[in-house]
Amino acid sequence: MKASPRTDHQPDSRYAMFRLGLTLLIMTVGSSGMYVVSVMLPAVQAEFGVARADASLPYTLLMLGFGIGGVLMGRLADRFGVMWPLLGGAVSLGLGYVACGMADGIVAFTVAQAVLVGLLGSAAAFAPLVADTSLWFVKRRGIAVAVCASGNYVAGAVWPPIAQHFIETVGWRQTYIGMGVFCGLAMAALALFMRARPPGIAVEPAGLAPAMGAVRQRDMTRPFGLSMGTAQGLLCVAGVACCVAMSMPQVHIVAYCSDLGYGAARGAQMLSLMLAFGVVSRLVSGAICDRIGGLRTLLLGGVLQCVALLLFLPFDGLVPLYVISALFGLFQGGIVPSYAIIVREHFPPAEAGARVGTVLMFTLFGMALGGWMSGKVFDLTGSYHAAFLNGIGWNLLNVSIAAMLLFRVRHLQLRTAAT
């Protein structure tokens, strides 16, 4: 297979903007699997007669496959261009949905989610596209990456109510089969427009003072004053921690509303609202990121997400849950994209693709762990109260790491200025 040819398209060009629009659409279709399975959870649990934790396991393994697949698909994109992994992902996603709709038990359903939908399907439409987008923009890299990553939340806003409607009218199995046909064909058609390769490693904007360039270079040899491995490891732990907390409402809000007696449809509406506000959050956070940097944006998002999780504890009325769901989406949407910007700011640009993919993989591991863990805590306690507390604890770990890294950066800046 020959690599896709490079073109004369430049960063920040009109073509780059057109490509960003395509990326948004592809991610909206390709990321549908992350959110549809949450809406299916009550119906799947009832159909197969399993415990809540077992019904949550398909989501957990889907996210594990999603994370690992992002690294694999990223390497394929580096070698052959992003179009080829996207085409393969479209075929796998379509087949995965059809296989889910025809599954005769929880094991077959889980395998289809983990391998076809997660590892080989949706994985092609996240980390590779985020890394690809970061190479097509220089002046507004933060907002461009935010727009790209917003496709993931647009999927969360669009697909849950659609899936819930068809579950109620034709059943969850027919819904999956129909989605397999539509998503597979739509993602493949859009992927054909993504043939052009990135214009090389984007350079930083002109105008940086020499002293600033020296500081940036020194930071990149030892990010945050730490070894490469230690710095990468801390970001990975932070990614797991923030997303364990993030997954609690996203995975279980439908089941939570059902348990409270409001019905699955209300929960699907809350999930859609949560992720719609997440789109706003990602765009706003991208603009903020261009001003204050990725690390401060991560810390801000982590603190606000913790506040939203705390609000779930005292309020369980229908209207308050709608409001808190909107706030949760508004507060946490910019967290995951900030990791890509942190890597671009503090690590060598030539290593950005692999390191962005690795950190995003660990954020997805956090989503996977949190989805299962919340179900397990529910099974042990019979309530989601303890699950929210568990999420808050993990959130505090994320905030602590972000604050520590920011302190180290400021300390290094002051020490450099003094010399």
- Rounded Cα–Cα distance for residues 117 and 33 (Å): 7
Q: Between helices 264-292 and 318-332, what is the axis angle to 10°? A: 30
**14-418 to CATH, choices 1.25.10.10, 3.40.50.300, 1.20.144.10, 1.20.1250.20:** 1.20.1250.20
- Rounded Cα–Cα distance for residues 407 and 402 (Å): 9
pLDDT of residue 205: 43
pLDDT of residue 212: 35
- Rounded Cα–Cα distance for residues 142 and 201 (Å): 16
pLDDT of residue 352: 67
- Rounded Cα–Cα distance for residues 202 and 91 (Å): 32
- Rounded Cα–Cα distance for residues 291 and 191 (Å): 32
Q: What is the mean pLDDT of each run of 10 residues along the chain (419 residues)?
A: 56 91 96 88 89 82 87 83 94 97 94 95 91 84 89 85 93 96 97 86 40 44 88 95 92 89 89 87 89 93 96 93 94 89 81 79 87 88 90 96 94 81
pLDDT of residue 350: 65
Tell me the pTM: 0.76
- Residue spans of the domains in the chain: they are 14-418
pLDDT of residue 341: 87
pLDDT of residue 189: 97
Contact present, 247 and 371 (Cβ < 8 Å): yes
pLDDT of residue 340: 87
pLDDT of residue 142: 84
Torsion of CA 405, 410, 411, 412, to 10 degrees: 90
